[in-house]
Amino acid sequence: MITGKNYIGNQLSAKGDKTFKTFNPELNVENEHIFYQATTEEINEAVHLAEKAFEEYRSFSGKQKALFLRAIADEIEALGEQLIQVYCSETGLPSGRAAGERGRTVFQLRSFADLVEEGSWVEASIDTGISDRTPAPKPDLRKMNIPLGPIVVFGASNFPLAYSTAGGDTAAAFAAGCPVIVKSHPMHAGTGELIASAILKAAEKTNMPNGIFSNINAIDYNAGEQLVSDAKVKAVGFTGSIKGGRALLDIAAKREEPIPVFAEMGSINPVVVLPKALENRGAEIANTYAGSITLGTGQFCTNPGLILGIAGKQLDDFTNTLGAKIKEISPMCMLHPNIHSAYEKGKTKAIAEENVTVLANLDQKVKTNYASQLIATVSGKTFLENTKLHHEVFGPFSIVVSCENVQELEQIIAKLEGQLTGTIIADDNELNNYGELIAKMQNRVGRLIFNGVPTGVEVCPSMVHGGPYPASTDSRFTAVGVNSIKRWVRPFSYQNWPQELLPVELQDGNPLGINRVVNGKLTNA
């Protein structure tokens, strides 16, 4: 049941008088439930409870944490059709997408359960002491990862499940041993409350301390800013716009004790289409890209917003086919009227720039909150000179850049801001001639794709979902896959510490049988 209240620890609470509703973009009406914005006092209480919960939860075993994470996944599945209905009513996204995202969310939770149950993720390392070393004895040093403390998580509008309340950030933080306070996304507050209730049911069933999780509703920025400023909060996970992520990063940096903000933000995901590939299968590539640009109404951080090629007949044929294919695709609903109007504004601004040609614009009248997709073209020179064209337009929009030669293409890649992904479309052996281009791409992106599309982010340990700023605020970490746990821990050393007081991960007998580096050698002995 949706109450519209905040979860302050395991208690429902609605002390404030500021309220809001979510919106059904497909029907163009507000949804019925009223949500209560959390007050300053309620937020203080949530953070206080999180700090207290951390004292206990930080030393819970991997097995206990795994039970909790698996119970959350089970409780989310037990929400059944209600979750799918509320998700769709708050996003305009189809039920198949909702079910797919739920599958990914529970998979993430269970992957983290497996990780912490096995235990080697703590990266234990032991350097035994040498008491008779001269001129001074060598101390016994033992190191492992330990949790940071209470984490605040902001979810994105376009992933109400996988990157929101019990999404990757929350799952990774729980796995690390950190309590979580979620600033629920106001556009899908009902979905958020259902997931929050599932987390708290799981917490009760697995005897987690009160305060391990809170869910804060807010329609303005105050709640989020208060959470990031609170001295008891030790790190922030954010998925959203560059503007939002940067604002929170700046707040965190100005605190008396600055804390890390792991913000995953927007991207235009450059795609380079090389001449031979275009010559041999240009129409096929155009068809694939028409699908990728419009997938999920273009509302993906991995949407291909920039396609680069070398001027010539092959590129002209490709862009014409892409334009024709794009026109054949039926427009779809966007997440919210605000996202829709931001898309229309961004698109209109981009095509009003000098020397931008509209290649394919859907002229037909579309329904309210539906996006009409658009492809624009510019020369390499224009794109190089006009950095306004380098910004993300969140929706089904892409610019095809026609470069004079490879050198100009390389210059453009080098000038781009940091990106989540880069893609190169090439034919057999064609790549061998583009070493410099590949090196430049690697310098700008977190993931390089060969002959594919950037949309679709596999959840597995080798995935890097992040990239140089502003794709993310810290390119050393991924936000997707089990390695994202590393954002919520710090390395910690014990020196000459008594065996019986060491955590089991660092004791001589290796009671958990985990992989450790002992005197420089990886072993599970």
Binding site for ligand NAP (CB under 6 A): 154, 156-159, 163, 183, 185-186, 219, 221, 224-225, 239-241, 244, 247-248, 264-266, 301, 392, 394, 420, 465, 479
List all residues 6 or more positions away from 399 whose beta carbon is below 8 Å from its beta carbon: 305, 306, 307, 350, 356, 375, 376, 377, 378, 383, 389
Nearer CB in complex with ligand NAP: 125/217: 217
C-beta closer to ligand NAP: residue 68 or 154: 154
CB of 167 to ligand NAP, least distance (A): 10
Closest to ligand NAP by CB, 248 or 332:
248
Catalytic residue numbers read: 264, 301
Rounded to a whole number of angstroms, the minimum distance from the CB of residue 269 to ligand NAP is: 10
Please report how close the Cβ of residue 525 comes to ligand NAP at its closest, in angstroms: 39
User: Considering the complex, what minimum distance in angstroms separates the CB of residue 154 from ligand NAP?
Assistant: 4
Instruction: Report which of 57, 80, 270 is spatially closest to residue 180, judged by C-alpha positions.
Output: 57
DSSP 138: B
Closer residue to ligand NAP, CB minimum distance, 314 or 484:
484
Count the alpha carbons within 13 Å of 508 in the hemisphere toward its beta carbon.
8
Q: Which residue has the tokens 């997938």?
A: 295
Label residues 450-479 b or e (16+ Cβ within 10 Å = b). Answer: eeebbbebebeeebbbbbbbbbbbbeebbb
Task: Pinpoint the alpha helices (H) of 206-311.
Answer: 222-229, 242-254, 275-294
Q: Which two tokens stand for residue 42?
A: 């309620």
In terms of CB distance, is 7 or 394 closer to ligand NAP? 394
Closer residue to ligand NAP (CB): 221 or 450:
221
Task: Provide the minimum distance between the beta carbon of 393 and ligand NAP in the complex, in angstroms, as a whole number.
Answer: 10
* Angle formed by the axes of helices 275-294 and 313-328, nearest 10°: 20
- The torsion defined by the Cα of 287, 441, 299 and 342, in degrees rounded to 10, comes to -120
Contacts of 175 (CB under 8 A, 6+ apart): 65, 69, 112, 113, 115, 116, 121, 482, 485
Closest contact distance (angstroms) between CB of 488 and ligand NAP is 16
